[in-house]
Amino acid sequence: MPTTFAGQLRSFARAVDIVDDATFDGVRKLIVRYVEKDLGAQYFELMREQTVGGRRGLSMSWSSLDSANAWPVETEPGVYTNMVTAAYGQRRPLWAVSGDDSPLGQGRAINDEWSRLGDLPTSYSPMAQNEDTRTLVVVPLRRKQPLGVFYFESASTIAITDVAKEELRLLGGSRS
């Protein structure tokens, strides 16, 4: 197992059966600190699959701001609610940046530099309201079946690297 943050977290998860609330909260703080400090995130959210408005959806489990959030995966068959639900629905990670370094959600073309998902919405409403989001990274969570996603927003344009992709895949529960 690698000695990266994700590798250490997976080793911890495999070593314990049950954790109390204090331990869970401590691990949560470590994760939030990691995505803020090492990944440059202004906002981080963990969402799990739940019914939203009578349809399959994603609902906030916890976030760096503890702000309630929920979306149906699709607004109609084949039409994803946003980029987060598109990555989840297609079970593929997403690394979204604009082609001209402008903030996401200003109607300009958005590129997925990880999975090359096409037909991404050109609008995006960031959860980090005090910053213009320039990078959105979404990683589907799965074991034997899809569980949810984690995603983060950054006000900086972050270049994708193979090391970052592997670390995030490991955090999401899958390997290359």
SS (H, E, C) 75-100: EECCEECCHHHHHHHHCCCEEEEECC
Residue ranges of domains in the chain:
5-172
User: Tell me, what's the pLDDT at 176?
Assistant: 45
Below-50 pLDDT ranges, the chain: 1, 176
Q: What architecture does CATH give domain 5-172?
A: 2-Layer Sandwich (3.30)
Q: What whole-number distance in Å separates Cα of residue 104 and Cα of residue 169?
A: 23
User: Tell me, what's the pLDDT at 107?
Assistant: 66
- Dump pLDDT digits (tens) for 33-52: 777 777 778 888 889 999 99
- Dump pLDDT digits (tens) for 142-163: 777 778 999 999 988 989 988 8
